[in-house]
Amino acid sequence: MMKYISTRGNAPELTFEEVLLTGLAEDGGLYVPKEVPQFSLEEIQSWRDLPYADLAHHVIYPFVEGCIDSDALKTILNDVYGGFGHKAVAPLQQIDHNEYVLELFHGPTLAFKDFALQTLGRLLDYVLEKRHEKVVIMGATSGDTGSAAIEGTKACKNVDIFILHPHNKVSEVQRRQMSTVLGDNIHNIAIEGNFDEAQDMVKASFGDQAFLKGERKLVAVNSINWARIMSQIVYYFYSALNLGAPLRPMAYSVPTGNFGDIFAGYMAKKMGLPINQLVIGTNSNDVLHRIMSRNQYEVMPLQHTITPSMDIAVSSNFERLLFDLYDRDGKALSSLMEKMNAKKDVVELDEANLDKARALFDSYACDENTTVETIQQVFSETGYLLDPHTAVGVKAARECRRDHRIPMITLGTAHPVKFEEAIQRAGLEMPSLPHHLSDLMEREERFTVLPANIKDVQSFIAENTFK
Ligand SMILES: *Cc1c(COP(=O)(O)O)cnc(C)c1O
């Protein structure tokens, strides 16, 4: 059975089931698999004709073995990916010679987070049923995570979900994707404040859960939850196999904020998929690019951009990569992370360790004008409309590409219809909402407005849990 260990080396080893129900480790670290499952080239090759859900079973099962029954996992994956709006689940779109966009926005909320959160909701309910437990999900969102988490858990019998968003500060499409999902276990809270205030209240609530009734505990659905990373590994295998791997290597470019999606690509490589390059694309919140290019880690004030889903000051999953770079030495990492979190000085990584990352990763920081120009350029070259996050990825791919004979695949993280501001700035016409959302603007909404005060939020949660 797979065991999971903390990156800071000072927390108990957990099973998959326990990791699923845990946020941060007790020592402040993130959980990672103790051993990475390995697949031979022959084995990977034998999967080349599999549909998405069947391939997902091969990739995911080693991580959950002993906790989730193999047939139960099959059913979950077939249900989840059978519900996507494209039969291929994750289709490839060619945008130039040897250059592709992997469309990860055919799930219910039109962004890649559905891949992980649809599965996570089903896995949670399976595990909670078995343990006769109920949990409360609490999260703050500036956009995509909230709606994907709500869609993923709306059918869960053992989960109550409370999602905080800043009142009047998310787009109407994004708010309606959350507030029109009606269910007794779904609670949208509009905070009269900004995203950071909402986020701080969530963090404080995880730290002291005494406000919850009975034996309830909080579960995290942000990308520190290992189960999210796990589900995202699959589409690297799927796209690579479709373009001739493992007989030839692939390169990927990933628009990233919290380093979650690209870390899944790094895992795919460790598991045996021939990946020759991973490109990190950031917006002007470029902490990752500053480390990779100049070996400078420094927390800067958050900037609000036209790629809001990548607006971060701290990139939490980078710690999972650092753990490997520092040879999985929890002590060394612990002291490094302490320095980084102190937010005082610029922190440097050990040069030799950073070189290990530079052998695989390249990075590029894309400003807003360049993002808009890239949307325009790809549209005029191909007639294909990129969302702004994907445009950051495409630009980064084009700037950093090492070998033009190797297919370059940019992860298409969202549908352009979600990001009107960027499409308007590019002077292009907005696409229409996909069929299953075409009446979104007419649907009944339900959300509660609360002041930015943690006591009010916590009593609302306590009163409305499992009524
Ligand atoms: C969440 C998100 C990202 C960033 O993903 P990370 O896992 O934080 O790297 C990029 N694009 C879109 C559209 C997103 O919703």
pLDDT digits (tens, 9 = 90+) for 63-80: 999 999 999 999 999 999
Cα–Cα distance, 255 to 275 (Å, whole number): 17
Cα–Cα distance, 465 to 462 (Å, whole number): 6
Q: How confident is the model at residue 467 (pLDDT cuts 50, 70, 90)?
A: low
Q: Ligand 1 center to residue 319 CA distance, Å?
A: 17
Instruction: Give kind and range of the element (H or E) at residue 412.
Output: strand 408-412
Q: Is 214 exposed, middle or buried (0-12, 13-18, 19+ CB in 10 A)?
A: exposed
Question: Contact, 143 vs 309, CB < 8 A?
Answer: yes
Q: Is residue 7 predicted with pLDDT exceeding 80?
A: yes
Q: Which are the contacts of 71, defined by CB distance < 8 A and separation ≥ 6?
A: none
Q: What is the DSSP letter of 429?
A: P
Q: How confident is the model at residue 223 (pLDDT cuts 50, 70, 90)?
A: confident
Residues above pLDDT 70, as percent of the chain: 100
Alpha helices of 67-143 — where are they, by DSSP H? 70-82, 113-131
pLDDT at 47: 98
Q: Is residue 431 predicted with pLDDT exceeding 90?
A: yes
- What's the length of the chain? 467
Q: Whose CA is nearest to atom 5 of ligand 1?
A: 256
Q: How confident is the model at residue 207 (pLDDT cuts 50, 70, 90)?
A: confident
Atom of ligand 1 nearest to the CA of 254: 9
Catalytic residue among 113, 269, 395, 418: 113
Regarding the beta carbon of 389 and ligand 1, being less than 6 Å apart is answered: yes
Regarding the beta carbon of 111 and ligand 1, being less than 6 Å apart is answered: yes
Ligand 1 pocket test: which of 105, 256, 288 has the largest number of ligand atoms within 8 Å of its C-beta? 256
Q: Ligand 1 center to residue 55 CA distance, Å?
A: 23
Regarding the beta carbon of 311 and ligand 1, being less than 6 Å apart is answered: no
Cα–Cα distance, 97 to 331 (Å, whole number): 46
Work out whether the CA dihedral 268, 272, 274, 277 comes out positive or negative: positive
Q: Ligand 1 center to residue 456 CA distance, Å?
A: 30
Strand 218-219 vs strand 250-255: parallel, antiparallel, or unpaired?
unpaired
Mean pLDDT computed over 9-28: 94
Q: Whose CA is nearest to atom 9 of ligand 1?
A: 256
Work out whether the CA dihedral 411, 181, 202, 80 comes out positive or negative: negative
Q: Is residue 404 predicted with pLDDT exceeding 90?
A: yes
Q: Is residue 459 predicted with pLDDT exceeding 70?
A: yes
Q: How many CA atoms lie within 13 A of 443 on its CB side?
A: 18
Ligand 1 pocket test: which of 105, 144, 151 has the largest number of ligand atoms within 8 Å of its C-beta? 144
Q: Is residue 283 predicted with pLDDT exceeding 80?
A: yes
Q: Which are the contacts of 451, defined by CB distance < 8 A and separation ≥ 6?
A: 191, 192, 193
Question: Contact, 148 vs 114, CB < 8 A?
Answer: yes
Mean pLDDT computed over 22-34: 93
Mean pLDDT of the chain: 95
Alpha helices of 365-440 — where are they, by DSSP H? 368-382, 388-400, 420-425
pLDDT at 23: 83
Regarding the beta carbon of 149 and ligand 1, being less than 6 Å apart is answered: no
| pTM, to two decimals | 0.96
Regarding the beta carbon of 255 and ligand 1, being less than 6 Å apart is answered: yes
pLDDT at 186: 96
Q: Is residue 355 predicted with pLDDT exceeding 70?
A: yes
Q: Ligand 1 center to residue 188 CA distance, Å?
A: 21
Regarding the beta carbon of 418 and ligand 1, being less than 6 Å apart is answered: no
Q: Ligand 1 center to residue 305 CA distance, Å?
A: 13
Regarding the beta carbon of 309 and ligand 1, being less than 6 Å apart is answered: yes
Regarding the beta carbon of 232 and ligand 1, being less than 6 Å apart is answered: no
Identify the CA nearest to 432 among candidates 110, 179, 91: 110
113 given a catalytic annotation: yes
Q: Ligand 1 center to residue 260 CA distance, Å?
A: 8
> What is the strand order of the sheet 361-365 is part of?
92-96, 99-103, 408-412, 250-255, 275-282, 361-365
Mean pLDDT computed over 16-31: 93
Q: Ligand 1 center to residue 74 CA distance, Å?
A: 27
Question: Contact, 322 vs 286, CB < 8 A?
Answer: no
Q: Ligand 1 center to residue 156 CA distance, Å?
A: 24
Q: Which are the contacts of 110, defined by CB distance < 8 A and separation ≥ 6?
A: 414, 415, 417, 418, 434, 437
Q: Which two tokens stand for residue 175?
A: 């708010």
Regarding the beta carbon of 257 and ligand 1, being less than 6 Å apart is answered: yes
Q: Which two tokens stand for residue 110?
A: 């039109």
pLDDT at 173: 87
Q: How confident is the model at residue 313 (pLDDT cuts 50, 70, 90)?
A: confident
Mean pLDDT computed over 8-36: 95
Residues above pLDDT 90, as percent of the chain: 86
- Crossing angle for the helix pair 144-153 and 172-179, to the nearest 10 degrees: 20
Alpha helices of 83-211 — where are they, by DSSP H? 113-131, 144-153, 172-179, 195-207
pLDDT at 299: 87
Atom of ligand 1 nearest to the CA of 315: 8
Mean pLDDT computed over 85-100: 97
Atom of ligand 1 nearest to the CA of 258: 8
Q: Is residue 94 predicted with pLDDT exceeding 80?
A: yes
Question: Contact, 115 vs 107, CB < 8 A?
Answer: yes
